[in-house]
A = this chain, B = another copy of it.
Amino acid sequence: MELQDVIRLRRMVRRFTPEPVSPESLDRILANAVRGPSAGFSQGQAFLVLTGADLAAFWAVAGEAVSPTAQTAPLVIVPMSSKRVYLDRYALPDKGWTDRDERRWPVPFWHIDTGMAALLILLTVVDEGLGAVYFGIVPEAVAGFRARFGIPDDHEPIGAIAIGHDAEDGKRDLRARRRPLADLVHYGKW
């Protein structure tokens, strides 16, 4: 699909058919997830892929604030950031930040880059004819999520993406709530 069509068609989908996501679609989604940029090519991302019986365990720990219909999705991917990987990368000789001082980082590029990976997942989902919703894992659920799925302390989930075949009959139209471009764009000066 053309990039412009993918961007135009992308929206959050919260209701899915029971049809599974094909292994081919999953493989392509994951292959694209790691094709985004990362500061210093740190690649401090990881992805937990959940299907089948693991999904019930996931929703038991992380489902409280998530729409029940979204919880019928046949696939969940949890993108994770690792600040540690970025600090390791920038301690190498070509960068030289051997003090690993976090104040060198103006913003958390580990999260920003993982957000880009999440968007690559959402765009590829559309290109595969699927639907998805990206949602947060509330702070109270993170410890339970880590314990159940063996997530190391140096990786942090930035939310989760439920993926499946779109079963929404109508499309939510957010156009009325869209902020005008002229409010968000500033030419030359704020």
Contacts from A to B (Cβ < 8 Å): 1-4, 6-8, 10, 12, 30-32, 34-37, 39, 41, 43, 45-51, 54, 81, 103-109, 111-116, 118-120, 122-124, 127, 134, 136-139, 142, 149-152, 155-159, 174, 177-179, 181, 184-190
Given contacts A106-B136, A106-B137, contact A35 B49 (CB under 8 A): no
Partner of A103, one of B41, B118, B139: B139
- Asked whether B109 lies within 8 Å of A112 as measured between CB atoms, the reply is no
* SS class, residues of chain A in contact with chain B: mixed
Given contacts A1-B2, A139-B103, contact A35 B7 (CB under 8 A): yes
Given contacts A3-B2, A115-B112, A115-B116, contact A45 B184 (CB under 8 A): yes
Partner of A107, one of B30, B158, B174: B158
Least distance between A8 CB and chain B CB atoms (Å): 8
- Asked whether A4 lies within 8 Å of B184 as measured between CB atoms, the reply is no
Q: List chain B residues, Cβ under 8 A from A50.
A: 188
Given contacts A31-B181, A186-B49, contact A136 B109 (CB under 8 A): yes
Given contacts A116-B115, A136-B109, contact A30 B181 (CB under 8 A): yes
